[in-house]
Structure 1
Amino acid sequence: MHDTPEPQVSEQQEPDVRPSMSSLVGELLSGRYRIEAELGSGGMGAVYRAEHTLMRKRVAIKVLHPEMTQHTEVVERFEREAMAAAHIEHPNVAAATDFGKLENGSFFLVLEYVEGASLRDVLQQGPMHPRRVIHIGKQIATALARAHGLGIVHRDLKPENIMLVSRDTDPDFVKVLDFGIAKVPVSQISKEAGKQHKTLTKVGMVYGTPEYMAPEQALGQDVDARADLYALGVILYEMLVGRRPFEADNPVALLGMQVTQPPPAFRQVAPGLHLPQEIEAIVMELLEKEAARRPSDAKQVRDVFEILEQNLDTSSWTEDARSNVSAAMSLTHAPTVFEGIASAKPRAPSIASVMARISAWSSQLAQTLRAADAQAQPHRWQAALPAPLRTLKLSVWLGLAAGVGMLALIVVIGIVWWVRTPSTVKPVFDETSWASPPVASSMQNASATADPQQLEKAVKAGSESIEQLLTQFPNDPAVLAQVAKARLGGASPDTCIEVYDKLFSLDPEKRKDNAVLEDVLGALTKPSSQEVVFSLLESHWGTEGPDLIHDLAFGKRTTTAAIASRAAKSIKSEAARKNASPALLIALDLRFNGGCQAKHRLLDRAREHGDERSLTQLRGLLHAKGCGFLGLSDCWKCMRADRKLNDTIKAISERTKQ
Structure 2
Amino acid sequence: MSEAAHEDPLIGTVIADRYRVDEKVGDGGMGAVYRVEHTHMRKRLALKVLHHDLCSYPEIVARFEREAMAAANIEHPNVANATDFGKLADGTFYLVLEYVEGLDLRQLLQRDRYLVPARAVHIALQVLGALGRAHELEIVHRDLKPENILLVEKDGDPEFVKVLDFGIARVPVGALGAPRTSGDKPLTKAGTVYGTPEYMAPEQALGQQVDGRADLYALGVLLFEMLTGVRPYDDVDKVALLGAHVSKPIPRVSSRAPRDQYIPEGLELVITQALAKQPDDRFQSAGDFAGALLDLGFEAPLPIIRHPSRNADKSGAFSLGADSRPSAKIRIDDRVPAETAPTTPQESLDSSRQAPALRPSPSPAPESPLPPAVAEPTRGSRVPWVIAALSVLAAVAAVLVLRRPDQVAPATPIPSATATAATATDTATTDATSSAPPSSPSANAKELALRALGRVASGEIEGGVKDLEALVVKYPTEPAVLRAMAQSYAKGKRPGDALGAIKKLVAVSPESASDPLLTPIFEDALADPKAADDAVATLVGPLGKPGAKLLYETAFSEKAPAAARARATKAVRDPKVAKNLPASIRALVDLRLATACPAKKTALDKNKKALDADALPLLQSMAKPTCGFDHKQPCWPCIKDLDVIIKDVEARK
| TM superposition score category, shorter chain reference | 0.5 to 0.7
Match of 1:121 in 2: 107
Cα distance, 1:43 vs structure 2:
2.7
**Pairwise mapping of residues 466-615 of structure 1 onto structure 2 (< 5 A)?**
537-539=403-405, 563-565=492-494, 577=519, 598-599=542-543, 601=545, 605=549, 613=567
Report the TM-score when normalising by structure 2: 0.53
Match of 1:28 in 2: 14
Distance 1:215 1:569, change over 3 A: farther
Residue 587 of structure 1 contacts residue 610 of structure 1 at CA under 8 Å; is this kept in 2?
A: no
Q: Which AA in structure 1 matches 2:51?
A: H
Equivalent residue in structure 2 for 1:300, among 288, 295, 305? 288
Distance 1:567 1:291, change over 3 A: farther
Residue 615 of structure 1 contacts residue 649 of structure 1 at CA under 8 Å; is this kept in 2?
A: no
Cα distance, 1:653 vs structure 2:
12
1:280 is aligned to 2:209? no
Give the structure with the larger helix fraction.
Answer: 1
Q: Which AA in structure 2 matches 1:538?
A: R
Distance 1:201 1:592, change over 3 A: farther
1:151 is aligned to 2:151? no
Q: Which has the higher contact order (CA 8 A, sep 6+)?
A: 2
Residue 603 of structure 1 contacts residue 648 of structure 1 at CA under 8 Å; is this kept in 2?
A: no
Residue 218 of structure 1 contacts residue 259 of structure 1 at CA under 8 Å; is this kept in 2?
A: yes
Report the TM-score when normalising by structure 1: 0.53
Residue 603 of structure 1 contacts residue 644 of structure 1 at CA under 8 Å; is this kept in 2?
A: no
Equivalent residue in structure 2 for 1:40, among 26, 29, 36? 26
Residue 270 of structure 2 contacts residue 358 of structure 2 at CA under 8 Å; is this kept in 1?
A: no
**Pairwise mapping of residues 322-361 of structure 1 onto structure 2 (< 5 A)?**
none
Residue 216 of structure 2 contacts residue 286 of structure 2 at CA under 8 Å; is this kept in 1?
A: yes
Other structure's SS at 2:36 match: strand
Partner deviation per Cα, 1:105-155 (whole Å, 9 max, x = no partner): 100000000111111111111111211111111110010000000010000
Cα distance, 1:583 vs structure 2:
11
Distance 1:50 1:644, change over 3 A: same
Residue 604 of structure 1 contacts residue 648 of structure 1 at CA under 8 Å; is this kept in 2?
A: no
Partner deviation per Cα, 1:462-497 (whole Å, 9 max, x = no partner): xxxxxxxxxxxx99xxxxxxxx9xx99xxx9889xx
Partner deviation per Cα, 1:210-238 (whole Å, 9 max, x = no partner): 01000010111110000000001001111
Bigger-Rg structure (1/2)? 1
Distance 1:222 1:590, change over 3 A: same
User: Aligned residues: percent identity?
Assistant: 43
Equivalent residue in structure 1 for 2:158, among 149, 167, 171? 171
Partner deviation per Cα, 1:435-479 (whole Å, 9 max, x = no partner): xxx9xx899xxxxxxxxxxxxxxxxxxxxxxxxxxxxxx99xxxx
Distance 1:170 1:248, change over 3 A: same
Q: Which AA in structure 2 matches 1:197?
A: D
**Pairwise mapping of residues 142-541 of structure 1 onto structure 2 (< 5 A)?**
142-192=129-179, 194-270=181-257, 272=259, 273-309=261-297, 380=333, 537-539=403-405
Residue 539 of structure 1 contacts residue 576 of structure 1 at CA under 8 Å; is this kept in 2?
A: no
Distance 1:619 1:240, change over 3 A: closer
Residue 264 of structure 1 contacts residue 540 of structure 1 at CA under 8 Å; is this kept in 2?
A: no
Q: Which AA in structure 2 matches 1:565?
A: R
- Computed over aligned residues only, the root mean square deviation of the Cα atoms, in angstroms, reads 5.1
Other structure's SS at 1:70 match: coil
For the residues of structure 2 that align with 1:215 and 1:621, how far apart are their CA atoms?
A: 48
Q: Which AA in structure 2 matches 1:220?
A: G
Residue 129 of structure 2 contacts residue 286 of structure 2 at CA under 8 Å; is this kept in 1?
A: yes
Equivalent residue in structure 2 for 1:64, among 50, 57, 68? 50
Alignment length (residue pairs): 411
For the residues of structure 2 that align with 1:493 and 1:102, how far apart are their CA atoms?
A: 53
Residue 590 of structure 1 contacts residue 602 of structure 1 at CA under 8 Å; is this kept in 2?
A: no
Distance 1:494 1:165, change over 3 A: same
Distance 1:187 1:591, change over 3 A: farther
Distance 1:311 1:34, change over 3 A: closer
For the residues of structure 1 that align with 2:134 and 2:105, how far apart are their CA atoms?
A: 20
Q: Which AA in structure 2 matches 1:146?
A: R
- Structure 1 unmatched ranges of 5 or more: 1-20, 314-376, 393-420, 427-437, 444-473, 476-483, 496-530, 543-559, 623-638
For the residues of structure 1 that align with 2:236 and 2:497, how far apart are their CA atoms?
A: 22
Q: Which AA in structure 1 matches 2:282?
A: R
Q: Which AA in structure 1 matches 2:139?
A: I
Cα distance, 1:305 vs structure 2:
2.9
**Pairwise mapping of residues 76-115 of structure 1 onto structure 2 (< 5 A)?**
76-115=62-101
Cα distance, 1:304 vs structure 2:
2.7
Other structure's SS at 2:151 match: strand
Partner deviation per Cα, 1:629-650 (whole Å, 9 max, x = no partner): xxxxxxxxxx9xx975799999
Residue 584 of structure 1 contacts residue 613 of structure 1 at CA under 8 Å; is this kept in 2?
A: yes
For the residues of structure 1 that align with 2:80 and 2:331, how far apart are their CA atoms?
A: 36
Match of 2:35 in 1: 49
Q: Which AA in structure 1 matches 2:493?
A: A
- Structure 2 unmatched ranges of 5 or more: 1-6, 302-329, 341-351, 369-396, 409-488, 503-514, 556-565, 595-653
